[in-house]
């Protein structure tokens, strides 16, 4: 990734930016990169510099000025053992505003943190952590907006199913096309300017942010590499200008709004069964949402004290971009208590006629809470209604969907106490919905209820866990400096401080993989699988990584053994994970062209999951396998495979799953004989 910066000036500031890019290879808190994003960046990395050069500066923004001399020495940046005073924060802010050398100040602080990690990197000393959070904030303020646009857009171009790498390359070679491509993912008002992020903030807003230690910490703990920083800063600035007197009183709420509304809303929100034009949206009204929740909090009309919640919890409160009138309607009409809020799901009468005729898309002209309450609906409408009403009453909520014995279903989850989520409100036990999938509003990516539970349990509230995350940030910085020994030491410290911090385990795995320490990586992944034995998602991740290592080494015996471990370990409680592993096995056998052997393995999998697989088994095993055989000209084997699965799964007549089998059978019947 360093090649993208080869044309930049060889100044300390730009060298620091480049070194931070190198630091992305491990997953530190705040700058965590998902595997999907990493893959996207590497595929299109050679095009990043082209995209940067093609994004024009806004007409009203002056060109970037040459780097100014380093700011005068600030003792608070060079020492880490004493809490920052208001005077320290004021001096840092004013120095940055006067010089613009945000990155140089960040580097000074970074070096002090690295030098003092043994003396001050302790759970009981908050002075070290607050400087770490400030270091991140200073670094962000110094980032060039066009640079951030390039890093934000390119992975999404790769992930967009309508765009191929070839199309992106072709488009990037045409004048002005980069701007058009970027607009797919960036609102016009957030389009990047050729200037540091700090210039997007009014001086008084920037001062209010840097002087508020709680807000800086919330941002440092919450902002991820998948956030669009110019959008984050725009929301922060707007909120301060709109409500300067209450802005600092709700730091977690401010941070949550900034990381959720930094990028455009997906076109399929709230779900694919509701035409978005019928939804009373008001996406850009984060000021209105801030007013609604702060006013309701001050008048004690919410079911939860939102000032006690963190930003990573509140993002599930403020993520419905609706007209404020929707929340007002819910607060007036829905009076269920916090302990019985799951009852709201059944307030919506189930529309049997829609379900019976297969009318799964919302048929009315508007999708307001009042209309849903009056007209009734199916499970997706019940879940949406309950989730939005929960938010209006001050409860973080999620909309879930999943596959059960007879097909798909929707339900909702909510934060029942300050520390406990309920994940199954409206979930039907007899259908065996193994996993529910929601959306993380910070990046609009899918997240399942088991993953959510692992990152919202009580361990994440402990000082040890948060300090472990701080060590991960410093490990990223050490890695950026090319110091592998310190990086490994810090990662080990993060693991030792909080052994249940999954981010630390994944960061170490990423570091060992990047530094090609294969044997240590295998040992680490084995230890990770043992550590998270009772958390299937994490254990399966560790085993699957071992599968990839064995596959790269050509060790087919180890590959088969590990895949069978995944299948057997998850067969009863997490059949979705077992089915995913089984799908991988089938894919490999089909690729070899041994169709009879693949069919035998297919039947074994169907027998194993016949009582629990349901929709997951159909969509991940049956349908792909049958279509693959059909495409290969194995028509009879494809029909036999479909018939075998239908006889074992026995979907209820008229159910969603029954209809899916019927559609696939029709496809096969149309095949040439």
Residues with Cβ within 8 Å of 528's Cβ and at least 6 positions away in sequence, in order, are 505, 509, 538, 539, 541, 542
Instruction: Give me the pLDDT at residue 259, please.
Output: 97
- Buried/exposed 138-160: b ≥16 CB within 10 Å, e otherwise: bbbbbbbbbbbbbbbbbbbbbee
152: its two tokens: 């934000």
Tokens of 340: 């019985």
CA dist list (Å): 75 to 199, 446, 463, 544: 25, 45, 27, 48
Buried b (16+ CB within 10 A) or exposed e, 71-97: beebebbeebeeebeeebbebbbebbb
| pLDDT for position 417 | 83
- Are the C-beta atoms of residues 524 and 509 closer than 8 Å to each other? yes
Residue 267 pLDDT class (50, 70, 90 cuts): confident
Whether residue 568 is predicted with pLDDT greater than 60 in this model: the reply is yes
| pLDDT score at 72 | 54
What pLDDT score was predicted for residue 458? Answer: 65
d(CA 223, CA 140): 10
Per-residue model confidence (pLDDT) at position 406? 53
8 Å CB contact between 343 and 452? no
Q: In the predicted model, what is the mean pLDDT of residues 564-592? A: 73
Other Cβ atoms closer than 10 A to 596: 10
- For the cut 60, the answer to whether the pLDDT of residue 217 exceeds it is yes
More confident of the two residues 405 and 93: 93
Q: What is the pLDDT of residues 104-132, one digit of tens each?
A: 999 888 888 888 766 556 676 788 888 88
Q: Is the dihedral of CA 428, 384, 304, 449 positive or negative?
A: positive
- Domains of the chain, start order: 276-442 (3.10.620.30), 501-669 (1.25.40)
Burial of 292 (0-12, 13-18, 19+ CB in 10 A): middle
The dihedrals phi and psi of 425, each to the nearest 5 degrees, come to -75, 110
- Identify whether the C-beta of residue 11 lies closer than 8 Å to the C-beta of residue 67: yes
Are 396 and 415 in contact, with CB atoms under 8 Å apart? yes
* Residue 659 confidence (pLDDT): 78
The pLDDT value given to residue 239: 98
- In whole angstroms, give the CA distance from residue 279 to residue 292: 19
- The pairing of strands 437-440 and 421-425 is unpaired
pTM listed for this prediction: 0.75
Partners of 447 in beta bridges: 438
For 643, the token pair is 């018939």
Q: Cα separation of 479 and 473, whole Å?
A: 10
Question: Residue 225 has what pLDDT?
Answer: 79
pLDDT of residue 670: 80
Task: Measure the CA–CA gap between 102 and 74, rounded to whole angstroms.
Answer: 13
Residue 291 has pLDDT above 90, yes or no: yes
Check pLDDT > 90 for residue 467: no
DSSP state of 283: T
pLDDT mean across residues, the chain = 79
Q: What angle do CA 294, 276, 186 make, to 5 degrees?
A: 70
CA distance 433 to 416: 21
Sign of CA dihedral 309, 311, 312, 316: positive
Question: Six-digit token pair at 171?
Answer: 């488009």
Both tokens assigned to 318: 């403020």
Tokens at 256, concatenated:
């949550």
CB 251 within 8 A of CB 211: no
Is residue 414 within 8 Å of residue 555, measured between CB atoms?
A: no
Position 318 scores a pLDDT of: 98
Please give the span between the terminal C-alpha atoms of the chain, in angstroms, as a whole number: 52
The predicted structure's pLDDT at residue 52: 39
Confidence of residue 576 (pLDDT cuts 50, 70, 90): low
**Distance from chain centroid for Cα 526:** 26
* DSSP SS3 for 172: helix
Residue 102 confidence class, pLDDT cut points 50, 70, 90: very high
Can you tell me the mean pLDDT for 212-228? 91
Which segment, 169-183, 229-243, 479-493, 607-621, is predicted with the most confidence on average?
Answer: 229-243
Q: What is the pLDDT of residues 51-93, one digit of tens each?
A: 434 434 444 444 444 444 445 557 777 777 788 889 999 999 9
Q: Which tokens belong to 615?
A: 């929709």
Sequence-distant (6+) residues with CB within 8 A of 395 are: 303, 304, 317, 338, 341, 414, 415
């Amino acid at each position: 990734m360093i090649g993208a910066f080869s044309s930049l000036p060889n100044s300390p500031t730009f060298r620091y930016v480049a070194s931070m890019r190198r630091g992305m290879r491990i997953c530190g808190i705040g700058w965590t990169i998902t595997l999907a994003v990493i893959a996207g960046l590497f595929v299109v990395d050679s095009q990043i510099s082209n995209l940067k050069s093609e994004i024009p500066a806004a007409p009203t923004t002056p060109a970037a000025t040459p780097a100014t001399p380093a700011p005068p020495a600030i003792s608070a940046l060079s020492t880490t053992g004493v809490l920052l005073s208001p005077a320290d924060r004021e001096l840092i802010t004013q120095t940055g505003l006067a010089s613009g050398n945000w990155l140089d100040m960040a580097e000074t602080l970074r070096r002090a943190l690295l030098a003092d990690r043994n003396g001050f990197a302790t759970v009981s000393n908050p002075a070290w952590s607050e400087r770490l959070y400030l270091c991140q904030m200073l670094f962000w303020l110094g980032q060039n907006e066009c640079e951030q646009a390039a890093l934000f857009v390119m992975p999404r171009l790769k992930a967009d199913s309508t765009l191929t790498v070839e199309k992106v390359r072709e488009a990037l070679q045409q004048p002005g096309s980069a701007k058009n491509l970027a607009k797919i993912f960036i609102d016009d008002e957030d389009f990047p300017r050729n200037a540091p992020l700090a210039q997007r903030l009014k001086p008084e807003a920037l001062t209010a942010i840097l002087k508020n230690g709680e807000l800086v910490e919330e941002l440092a703990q919450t902002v991820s590499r998948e956030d669009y920083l110019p959008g984050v800063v725009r929301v922060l600035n707007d909120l301060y200008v709109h409500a300067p007197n209450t802005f600092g009183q709700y730091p977690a709420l401010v941070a949550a709004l900034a990381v959720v509304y930094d990028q455009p809303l997906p076109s399929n929100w709230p779900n694919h069964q509701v035409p978005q034009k019928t939804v009373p949206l008001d996406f850009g009204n984060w000021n209105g949402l801030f007013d609604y929740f702060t006013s309701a909090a001050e008048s004690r009309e919410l079911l939860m004290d939102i000032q006690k919640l963190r930003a990573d919890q509140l993002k599930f409160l403020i993520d419905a971009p609706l007209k404020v009138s929707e929340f007002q309607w819910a607060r007036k009409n829905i009076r269920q208590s916090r302990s019985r809020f799951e009852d709201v799901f059944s307030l919506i009468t189930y529309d049997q006629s829609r379900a019976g005729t297969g009318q799964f898309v919302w048929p009315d002209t508007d999708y307001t809470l009042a209309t849903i309450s009056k007209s009734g609906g199916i499970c997706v409408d019940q879940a949406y209604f309950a989730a939005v009403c929960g938010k209006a009453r001050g409860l973080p909520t999620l909309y879930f969907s999943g596959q059960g014995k007879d097909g798909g279903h929707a339900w909702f989850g909510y934060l029942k106490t300050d520390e406990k989520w309920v994940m199954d409100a409206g979930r039907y036990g007899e259908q065996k919905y193994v996993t529910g999938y929601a959306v993380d509003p910070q990046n609009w990516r899918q997240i399942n209820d088991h993953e959510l539970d692992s990152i919202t349990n009580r361990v994440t509230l402990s000082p040890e866990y948060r300090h472990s995350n701080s060590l991960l940030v410093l490990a990223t910085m050490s890695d950026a400096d090319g110091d592998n020994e310190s990086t490994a030491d810090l990662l080990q410290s993060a693991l030792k401080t909080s052994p249940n911090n999954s981010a630390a385990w994944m960061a170490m795995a990423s570091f060992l993989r990047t530094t090609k320490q294969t044997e240590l990586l295998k040992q680490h992944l084995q230890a990770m699988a043992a550590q998270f034995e009772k958390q299937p998602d994490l254990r399966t991740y560790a085993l699957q990584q071992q599968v990839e290592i064995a596959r790269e080494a050509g060790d087919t015996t180890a590959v088969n053994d590990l895949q069978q471990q995944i299948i057997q370990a998850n067969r009863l409680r997490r059949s979705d994970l077992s089915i995913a592993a089984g799908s991988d096995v089938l894919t490999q056998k089909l690729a070899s062209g041994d169709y009879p052997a693949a069919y035998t393995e297919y039947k074994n999998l169907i027998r194993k999951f016949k009582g629990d697989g349901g929709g997951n088994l159909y969509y991940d095993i049956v349908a792909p396998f049958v279509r693959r055989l059909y495409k290969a000209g194995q028509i009879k084997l494809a029909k036999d495979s479909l018939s075998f699965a239908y006889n074992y799964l026995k979907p209820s007549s008229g159910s969603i799953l029954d209809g899916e089998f019927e559609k696939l059978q029709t496809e096969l019947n149309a095949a040439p004989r």
